[in-house]
Amino acid sequence: MKYENTGFSLFQTSDFALQASELTRLGKETILIVEDEKALVKVLRYNLENSGYKVAAAHDGAEGLLLFQKAKPDLAILDVMLPKLDGFELCKIIRQKHKTPILFLTAKKDEVDRVLGLELGADDYLTKPFSVRELLARVKAVLRRFSAEIRSPAAYSFGNLKIDLERYEVRVGAKTAALSSKEFEFLKFLAQAEGKAVSRDVLLEKIWGHDRSMEIDTRTADQYIARLRNKLQDESGRLITVKNIGYRLKTD
């Protein structure tokens, strides 16, 4: 049996060359890969293109930033440990102006690193080694969530707090609150609960999915709420802690 060596894991040829019929084809979304392991980029490009995506690739953070600005991708896949500009810094720069979904690839299994990436605004992460099938499933799920948010015309207004789901924007009075994509999702889900209490477990499951939520400490929800309270300023009091349960958004 032949294998392709990606530099971090071995893929059987049958895995490397997934049949197009097995892949769920979406539209011609553009995916940017920023990864310094060229063999891994080759594997990902092959399978993503077979899945119907357009792919742009860079091998260091600085090149990745330039390509991001040029290609305007629908999703960016970033390695954490990149030369010239690491994945965390690249994510921070992207998040200053863009809501583009970001999926991190990392060889680090420390929860602190995973949480840091999510707090910087990443939408998902994969720990190496991973299967091509799992990455394709994550890409599909992230794009589906982001697409649904863009299509939604709904907006919420509570006092001076305005949550515009169509523009992906939160305003407190005349000021725009600079929220990461995950912070926005937390606030949106609480708004959609219409004042009802939502448990930490439910929040994590709705935002990260069932499988991922099982890996994340429930205190992550507390961290996001604390960040939201800080950014909502005069309207921070609308985020109510419900003892032994979770949180609710005061709507009156």
Domain 152-249, CATH 1.10.10.10 — does that match? yes
What's residue 17's pLDDT?
Answer: 40
d(CA 84, CA 62): 6
Quick check: 137 pLDDT over 80?
A: yes
Quick check: 79 pLDDT over 80?
A: yes
Extents of the domains making up the chain: 3-149, 152-249
What's residue 114's pLDDT?
Answer: 63
- Judge contact between 40 and 4, C-beta under 8 A: no
- How confident is the model over 90-107, as a mean pLDDT? 87
> Out of 8-12, 76-80, 140-144, 225-229, which region has the weakest mean confidence (pLDDT)?
8-12
Highest-pLDDT range among 27-36, 139-148, 199-208, 233-242: 233-242
- How confident is the model over 9-26, as a mean pLDDT? 37
- How confident is the model over 121-136, as a mean pLDDT? 86
Among residues of the chain, what percentage have pLDDT more than 90? 41
What's residue 175's pLDDT?
Answer: 92
What's residue 49's pLDDT?
Answer: 93
Domain 3-149, CATH 3.40.50.2300 — does that match? yes
> Out of 26-30, 86-90, 148-152, 195-199, which region has the weakest mean confidence (pLDDT)?
148-152
Closest alpha carbon to 145 in 117, 124, 175, 120 = 124
- Judge contact between 93 and 66, C-beta under 8 A: no
The pLDDT-based confidence of 96 (bands split at 50, 70, 90) is confident
- How confident is the model over 222-246, as a mean pLDDT? 92
Q: Residue 7, by phi and psi: left (phi above 0), alpha (psi -120 to 50) or beta?
A: left
What's residue 112's pLDDT?
Answer: 55
The 10 Å Cβ neighbour count of residue 188 is: 22
The pLDDT-based confidence of 103 (bands split at 50, 70, 90) is very high
Average pLDDT, the chain: 81
Sheet holding 75-79, edge to edge: 54-58, 30-34, 75-79, 102-106, 124-127
- How confident is the model over 132-155, as a mean pLDDT? 78
**Helix H or strand E encompassing 4:** strand 3-5
- pLDDT tens digits for range 207-217: 776 555 566 77
Helices and strands of the chain, counted as H and E runs: 10, 14
Matching residue, tokens 């299994």: 109
- How confident is the model over 48-73, as a mean pLDDT? 93
